[in-house]
Amino acid sequence: MSETPAPRPISRRGAIGGLAATVGAVAVSSVVTAAPAHAYNWTRTMRRGDSGADVRELQIRVAGWAAASPSRTFIAIDGSFGPATEGAVRRFQSAYGLGVDGIAGPQTHTQLNWLESSDGSTRHFAWSEFHSRDGSGFGGGRVGTATVRENVRRLMYKLEAVRRKGGNNACIINSGFRSIRHNSNVGGSSNSQHMYGIAADIRINNRSVSQVISYSQTSGFSGIIRYNTHTHVDSRVEYAYGAQSWYWAV
């Protein structure tokens, strides 16, 4: 059941539609080791009280472990390692079978990087799954292409947590980013969070909509909407793109 880091092929996913590969990407290590080729170069053990760009990246990666039970809370991506970040690190460690101490040391670094793909996406999701379905990639939204891409990257890490809570069954993206045009074509709301790259409509194999909702309620999502066959999740409060109130229609 437990998945542990192991060497893997560098690339298995499609191109990212001509986007500059460095846009929104995290720093990469130039050191040749057994770690993934494009793993984030964590340089220190991080604990409560620390701050910096690496803490910020840590927060992005553990944001889906925001709470132990349904709770309207999210991990602020502010580069400051406080109690909320520590709690998320603890839950992340527990979920992956690591020693639970709330301190991001070498074992936690390795597990965090195991979740990262060489193209900057995450292990179980591909950029293309989140592209606007009208062929516009990450363009034509309410924020610029690079911002959409970074928002999608952060969304992917939250969805990695949801997927993990769902027993590692496949998480299918029915809709990710939508261009303004595409959102209009599919009848999306005029301020749909999909147009910013912070929303996804998902389902998980072998899990009910109710189960997916319960996982989402501990994963830092401030927008959760139940549909017959899927669940909409977004981070509307965290990003404040014109919809800053919690909205759980579950």
Query: Which parts of this chain interact with Zn ion (CB under 5 A)?
Result: 201, 232
Query: Please, is 128 exposed, middle or buried when counting C-beta atoms within 10 Å of its C-beta (0-12, 13-18, 19+)?
Result: middle
Nearer Cβ to Zn ion (149/232):
232
CB nearer to Zn ion: pick between 113 and 216: 216
3-class DSSP assignment, residue 171: strand
Q: Which is nearer to Zn ion, 201 or 238 (CB)?
A: 201
CA-nearest of 238, 211, 209 to 222 is 238
209-216 helix and 145-165 helix, angle to the nearest 10 degrees? 110
In angstroms, what is the minimal distance from the CB of 205 to Zn ion? 19
Nearer to Zn ion, 92 or 221 (CB): 221
- The residue number with the shortest CB distance to Zn ion is 232
Sign of CA dihedral 152, 154, 155, 156: positive
* Sign (positive or negative) of CA dihedral 110, 12, 171, 207: negative
Nearest approach in angstroms of CB 173 to Zn ion is 10
Least separation in angstroms between CB 155 and Zn ion? 12
Output the smallest distance, CB 105 to Zn ion, in A.
37
